[in-house]
Structure 1
Amino acid sequence: MARFDQAEGLRRMLAGPKPRVFTFLSALKEDEKSGMLVNLGVTLARQGNQVTMVDARASEDSIGAWLNASNDQTLLDVAQQQRTMKEAIKIVAAGLSVTMLTRNADCMAKLPPEGARQLSRVFDVVAHRSDLVIVDSEINLEAGFPLASLDDSELVIQVSADPDMIKAAYGLIKRVSNRLGRRGYGILVSGASEKEARLIYTNMAQAAGRYLAVPLHYVGNVPDDEHLRKAAHLGRSVIDAFPKARASLAFSRLAEQLAMSARTTLGIEGVPELGVGLGI
């Protein structure tokens, strides 16, 4: 078993990162993270991308709950041959679908190694059927992801201008880097102007470079915009409800840049400054 695990790890290392899969961690409240991801997913789909959103948290406020995905039809059920792939993936709109990884975190904790590998294979099938995969994830006490293959995805950390949230985001980066070693992380700042976001990113990048030897990359900012809250109250994405709002423009720019990076072999780490702020 040890030889198999080592061989699988070596193949994964040689294959390199998968730029089409973006795993999002957040220092913000669950509903703030989910709202951002839903708006991003809708915007990506409206721009002509085939997007699959994977709920790897299965909480009351994760993206599966926001998009009314069924937690009794999961990718783990597919891996265990209890459901078909078609049953486990919900079509939300043209170009946008959502699926649950598991029913809850306890499912992963009890999963034997072969079951975890089979689930990874099912996830890979989903990834190869999509232009982009957006994963709503978190880390466990050992700083591990619910799925081992997410180690190779592009990691994006969502943060705000709140000092406590900045500290929490830095803590996430430190914990994951202690386990994975040196690798890059994207920084997405919510509820801040471009000027504020770039200052937050610069300070975090300097600290991460100095104390962790970890490179950070500016992904962009989503400004504080009342239209986001109004759209959520209406049960709609901001780009559908208020297409000219500042937040809608920000999500459009962010989606364009993520899609462009996914079409390259470089991914986020090869694009130090994606620059999707609005200059407001």
Structure 2
Amino acid sequence: MASFDFDQAEGLRRMLAGPKPRVVTFLSATPGDDKAAMLVNLGASLAQAGNDVMIVDACQRRDGATRGVARHLEMERHVSLMQVARQECALNQVIQQAPQGFQVALLARDGVVPRTGSDEQRRLAKAFEVMVKGQGGIVIVDGELNREGGFAVPMLADAEIVVQVSNSATSITNAYALIKRLAQEFGRRPFGILVTGATEAEAKLVYDNMASAASRYLAVTLSSMGSVPADEYLHRAARLGRTVVDAFPLAGASVAFRRLAGRFALPGMTQLGRHGGGAGFDARFNVRVGS
């Protein structure tokens, strides 16, 4: 049986030795595989720019409607952090290296996590905290809310939260409902908005309308992260089993992902945490796609 205490001690030593990671949780109001595909391309863009990147698949549903990053990359049968919490494996066994240049960790196989407040959930949360704080770069969490309206790991409530939305009426409605639910659960705080599958003009309209409604009716500040356009090269790259930034570096989507990655990697950027301000994401919509 693996020694969780030993592995935890090693993680704590790494945590004290290096800089704190930047943790960003992505939620989505877009259908199916959209978020996982977006995060893989974002992770690859960050890695290409020289950043240390880990993507944690914390999706909790495996009903075919939701595909996390690990499943998207066909890495979902690997050992999970839940097994570390159960002392079935060591922490370093959970972390996988993806060919796209970033690391991948799975929170729980088949998305099955313990109920909120249970001893097992507390052990999972501790294992997650040790793993994340042992990182020195950017930790992206492919997440979703549980049935109680919270996260599988409480630490995510203190991280930056970004909501992905498209320009469809259904997606916009779902995104607003998600932000309302987040505000009710975690209190007043800023949230980032990333618009995908839309032109720059369409994305600006989506963001402006959502920001106005959130400010007026929820007293919540939204900050724009920019947009990624609909691009046939995204689908071509996916069919090749590659990221668009690798296969088609001059495509409009590739330009957008590199600029998005650049905003993540800015040194000294103020973060959108529970107690943070909104300076981390420029409130102006100034990402020009495809130029």
TM range (shorter): 0.7 to 0.9
Shift of 1:121: 2.2
User: Aligned partners of 1:244, 1:94: CA distance in 2, in Å?
Assistant: 18
1:52 lines up with 2:57 in the alignment: no
* Partner in structure 1 of residue 119 of structure 2: 114
Secondary structure at the residue paired with 2:89?
coil
Q: Which runs of 5+ in 1 are unaligned?
A: 1-17
- Structure with the higher helix share, 1 or 2: 1
**Does the 8 Å contact 1:195/1:279 carry over to 2?**
no
1:1-280 paired onto structure 2 within 5 Å: 20-57=22-59, 59=62, 61-93=67-99, 95-109=101-115, 113-128=118-133, 129-260=135-266, 263-264=267-268, 266-268=270-272, 269-273=278-282, 275-278=286-289
Which one-letter code corresponds to 2:280 in the other structure? V
Secondary structure at the residue paired with 2:109?
coil
Q: Deviation per CA, 1:51-84, whole angstroms, max 9, x where unpaired? A: 1100011535211112222435001111222111
User: Aligned partners of 1:171, 1:19: CA distance in 2, in Å?
Assistant: 29
User: Aligned partners of 1:71, 1:137: CA distance in 2, in Å?
Assistant: 18
User: Aligned partners of 2:56, 2:48: CA distance in 1, in Å?
Assistant: 18
Secondary structure at the residue paired with 1:276?
coil
Q: Which runs of 5+ in 2 are unaligned?
A: 1-19, 273-277
Shift of 1:247: 0.3
User: Aligned partners of 2:42, 2:239: CA distance in 1, in Å?
Assistant: 17
Larger displacement relative to structure 2 (33-42 or 100-109): 100-109
Secondary structure at the residue paired with 1:54?
strand
Larger displacement relative to structure 2 (83-92 or 148-157): 83-92
Secondary structure at the residue paired with 1:270?
coil
Residues 94 and 66 of structure 1, relative CA distance in 2, 3 Å threshold? closer
User: Aligned partners of 2:107, 2:120: CA distance in 1, in Å?
Assistant: 13
**Does the 8 Å contact 2:30/2:171 carry over to 1?**
yes
**Does the 8 Å contact 2:256/2:290 carry over to 1?**
no
Residues 42 and 210 of structure 1, relative CA distance in 2, 3 Å threshold? same
**Does the 8 Å contact 1:192/1:222 carry over to 2?**
yes
Secondary structure at the residue paired with 2:27?
strand
Residues 232 and 94 of structure 1, relative CA distance in 2, 3 Å threshold? closer
Query: TM-score if structure 2 supplies the norm length?
Result: 0.84
Larger displacement relative to structure 2 (218-227 or 49-58): 49-58
Report the RMSD for the aligned CA atoms in angstroms: 1.9
Secondary structure at the residue paired with 1:127?
helix
Secondary structure at the residue paired with 1:135?
strand
Which one-letter code corresponds to 1:204 in the other structure? M
Larger displacement relative to structure 2 (186-195 or 124-133): 124-133
What percent of counterpart residues are identical?
44
Residues 70 and 31 of structure 1, relative CA distance in 2, 3 Å threshold? closer
How many residues align structurally?
Answer: 260
* Partner in structure 1 of residue 11 of structure 2: none
Query: TM-score if structure 1 supplies the norm length?
Result: 0.87
**Does the 8 Å contact 1:19/1:153 carry over to 2?**
no
Secondary structure at the residue paired with 2:98?
strand
**Does the 8 Å contact 2:270/2:279 carry over to 1?**
yes
Secondary structure at the residue paired with 1:123?
helix
Shift of 1:43: 0.8
**Does the 8 Å contact 1:39/1:239 carry over to 2?**
yes
User: Aligned partners of 1:206, 1:144: CA distance in 2, in Å?
Assistant: 25
Shift of 1:195: 1.8
Larger displacement relative to structure 2 (152-161 or 96-105): 96-105
**Does the 8 Å contact 1:184/1:214 carry over to 2?**
yes
Shift of 1:94: 7.2
